[in-house]
Amino acid sequence: EVIKAISGKGEPLKNFFFFDAATGKGTIEDISPRTDG
């Protein structure tokens, strides 16, 4: 994904993965811009 962002080729992923070591669970958060309209 870093290469996509630097080269400007292809759409980079628009999400983050958060891992909680205490529970052993992870969540994915979508950070793409909102398109209301």
Q: What is the pLDDT of residue 12?
A: 59
pLDDT of residue 2: 64
Give SS3 for 5.
helix
pTM score, two decimals? Answer: 0.44
**Number of compact structural domains in the chain:** 1
Residue pair 29/18 in contact by the 8 Å Cβ criterion: yes
Q: What is the pLDDT of residue 22?
A: 95
Determine the structural domain holding residue 3 and report its residue range.
Answer: 1-37
The phi, psi pair for 6, rounded to 5°, reads -70, -45
Rounded to 5°, the CA angle 15-12-32 comes to 40
pLDDT in tens, 1-37: 566 666 666 665 677 888 999 999 988 888 777 777 5
| Contact yes or no for 14/1 (Cβ under 8 A) | no
* DSSP letter (8 states) at residue 37: -
